[in-house]
Amino acid sequence: MSRKGAVTAPLQRLLTLDRQYSARLAIPREARFLRLLALAVAHSGDSPIWLIGAAVALVWGNATWCDLGWRVLIGTLVAGVVTTALKWLFRRQRPPGEGLGFYTQFDRHAFPSGHTSRSACLVVLLAPLLPPWCTTTFALWAGLLGLVRVTLQVHFISDVVGGWVTGLLVGLAFQVVF
């Protein structure tokens, strides 16, 4: 067996397990209420919502809100650029299934998850401005956001983990600046 084959086989096994466990987490189509809740959580991480919130904080906020607005704006944009670059580098396709649609119209690549990258980055960037209970709640939301992206079959588990790592690294890099 060649060296490439020796490396490829374990990676293929991991990717197979990733697909299998991700598929097990899918919310059935019949569970309409649960799917609706998952969609609400999933869309709470959409870029336009965060960018509008940042704009409102910057235009109408006091100094604290402006600081928050700048962090949200920078975190959303930079995490988005880094994630998009990584998606085009890896070009991993999204999971097959019924969860596709809106997301694939604009972004057909899955790794890393942009929603989880953005949410993890924002948790890191906003933590210094928030009380501990709020940071904890925000971090739990970021975790739930990643989970529902898998349950809606728009990402694999590894896409979400990759998004969290990407977002944490981008957030930590900018934390040095702020």
Mean pLDDT of the chain: 87
Q: What is the pLDDT of residues 97-130, one digit of tens each?
A: 655 555 566 777 788 999 999 999 999 999 999 9
pLDDT tens column, 121-156: 999 999 999 999 999 999 999 999 999 999 998 899
Q: What's residue 1's pLDDT? A: 45
* Percent residues over pLDDT 70 in the chain: 90
Cα–Cα distance, 36 to 130 (Å, whole number): 29
Q: Quick one: tokens of 144?
A: 């739930």
Kindly report, residue by residue over 19-35, the tens digit of the pLDDT: 888 888 888 888 889 98
